[in-house]
Amino acid sequence: MKYKLILTAFLTAFLTVLPCNTTALASVYTGHLDSTSEECISGWAWDSENPSHAVNVQILVKNSSFSTVQELSATADLYYSHLSDAGIGTGKYGFSVSMNWSSLPDGFYFVEAYVAGTKLPNCLQVTKSGSSVSYTSGSSVRSLGVFQTTAYCPCYSCSEGWGRHTSTGAIASARHTIAVDPRVIPYGSRVMINGMVYTAEDRGGAVKGNHIDIFFDTHGETRQYGTQYTEVFLLQ
C-alpha cells in the first residue's frame, strides 16, 4: 500500500507539470536586413511563435578583416505595411538604427543582425567611399582558400592586344575587374581580395585553377604588385 501511494503521488505530480512542458513553444526568430544609408541601418525581425512581442536586435558592423567596428542595438517595433500585407503578424516588426558611416574609413564592410544569438539570414555588403555608401544584400561570405594573385593592364604585353576588352564583353576597369578560371570562379562572381571587392569579368591563357589576375590601369602598377598569395572570399 505504501508503494502504491508513493507511485500515485509521483504520477499525479508528473501529469500536472507535463502539459506545461509539452505545450510551451520555442521561439522562432527570423527577419531581414533591408538597407543602409549614410545615416541608418534598417530591417525587420520577429518571433513567429510570439508575434505580440517586440524582439531586440543586435547589429554588428564588420570590416574587411571581419573585425567588429560598430555594435548597435534596436527594438523591432516599427510598423511596416509590406509585412502586414504579406501576412506577417501585425507588421510591427521593423527597426531602424542610427549609423554614422562617416566615422569609419573608406573601405568594404559587412552588416549582420542577430536576435537572441540567432543570425538573420542575410547580411549587407557595404562599400564606403567618401560620403557615398552603397550596398548589396547577400547571404554569406565564404572563403575560397588561398590563391595566387597576379596583375595585368591594357598594354599589349599584358593583354595581347585586347586592351580593356574582356572575354565577357565588359570593359575592364581598375579596382573592379579580375581574370579568373571560370571553372573555379564563375563569371559575374564578386570576390574580396585584400579588402577590395572585384567582379570576375575576364580570363587569361595563364590563369588556371586557384589563380586570379587583377586588372590595373598601368604596367608600372602591375610590376609593383608582382605575385602575391592571399585568401580570397566569395560574396554570396
Q: For the residues 158-162, what does the mean pLDDT come to?
A: 83
pLDDT higher for 6 or 156?
156
The cell for 131 is 560620403
Q: What pLDDT score was predicted for residue 3?
A: 44
Q: In the chain, where does DSSP find H-type helix?
A: 2-23, 81-85, 156-159, 219-225
Q: What pLDDT score was predicted for residue 25?
A: 60
Residues 52, 133 within the same domain: yes
Residue at which a domain ends, from 139, 160, 178: 139
Is residue 212 in some structural domain?
yes
Residues 57, 36 within the same domain: yes
Mean pLDDT, the chain, rounded, equals 88
Tell me the per-residue pLDDT of 119-142, one tens digit each, with 9 for 90 and over: 999 999 999 999 899 999 988 888
Kindly report the pTM of this predicted structure: 0.75
For residue 20, name the pLDDT band (cuts at 50, 70, 90): very low
Residues 131, 148 within the same domain: no
Residues 58, 115 within the same domain: yes
For residue 155, give its domain range.
Answer: 142-235
For residue 159, name the pLDDT band (cuts at 50, 70, 90): confident
CATH number, domain containing residue 211: 2.40.40.10
Tell me the per-residue pLDDT of 47-82, one tens digit each, with 9 for 90 and over: 999 999 999 999 999 998 899 999 999 999 999 999
Q: What pLDDT score was predicted for residue 22?
A: 44
Counted domains in the chain: 2
Residues 94, 184 within the same domain: no
Is residue 17 in some structural domain?
no
